Amino acid sequence: MNKQDSTQLDTDARELAKLGHSLSTALFEGNLDQCLAIIVDHGNRHGYQFSDGSRHLLEQSTMTTGQS
């Protein structure tokens, strides 16, 4: 493994730690809407390929709950 790969792994580990912290904080506060938004945002930023059905449900949930 070269130095660049190691740096990328460290960045990914920090990113995952931040994601975990954000999700656990939102869950602890009982804010499920925020959890969905965090998951969708993370997936979008990292090019995660949600299935069409899953993406639709997640996005619809965040839009619906965000309007309440």
Asked whether the beta carbons of 36 and 62 are under 8 A apart, the reply is: yes
Around Cβ 15, how many Cβ atoms within 10 Å? 13
Residues contacting residue 65 through CB under 8 Å, at least 6 positions apart: 32, 33, 36
Residue 6 has pLDDT above 70, yes or no: no
DSSP, collapsed to helix, strand or coil, labels residue 10 as helix
pLDDT in tens, 9-35: 455 888 889 999 999 999 999 998 898
DSSP, collapsed to helix, strand or coil, labels residue 27 as helix
DSSP, collapsed to helix, strand or coil, labels residue 7 as helix
Taking the whole predicted model, whether its pTM rises above 0.85 is answered as no
What is the pLDDT, as a whole number, of residue 5? 52
